[in-house]
Amino acid sequence: MILRIREVQVCGRHSLRLEFNDGSTRRVDIRPLLEGPIFEPLRDPDYFARVSLDVTCGTVVWPNGADFAPEALRDLSAEATPDSACC
């Protein structure tokens, strides 16, 4: 199965809640991936919040073309969240 993201929610300054097509869900902080000029705008929380789901590619994207492979996002350490939190 090719890993794809089915749903994305912004859950903090640089955190996303991701639902994958294998049924798993995780919240991740993507700051470790923000290297290089294409990712520099994502350091701004307001710009980061402009994330959207590319349903064709099954990943998250930003208006400047920045994106991440679903595998790279799933390999990040999951953030601990309270059971009652949606994010």
CATH number, position 39: 3.30.2020.10
* Cα–Cα dist 59/17, whole Å: 13
Give the model's confidence band at 84: pLDDT under 50 very low, under 70 low, under 90 confident, else very high: very low
Asked whether residue 52 is domain-assigned, the answer is yes
- Structure confidence by residue, pLDDT tens digits, 5-38: 999 999 999 999 999 999 999 999 999 999 999 9
Q: Rounded to two decimals, what is the model's pTM? A: 0.87
Domain count, the chain: 1
Region 49-54: mean pLDDT is 98
For residue 14, the tally of other CB atoms under 10 A from its CB is 19
Lookup: tokens for 70:
């679903």
Residue 50, classified by CB atoms within 10 Å of its CB into exposed (0-12), middle (13-18) or buried (19+), is middle
* Within a domain: 40: yes
pLDDT of residue 55: 94
| Within a domain: 86 | no
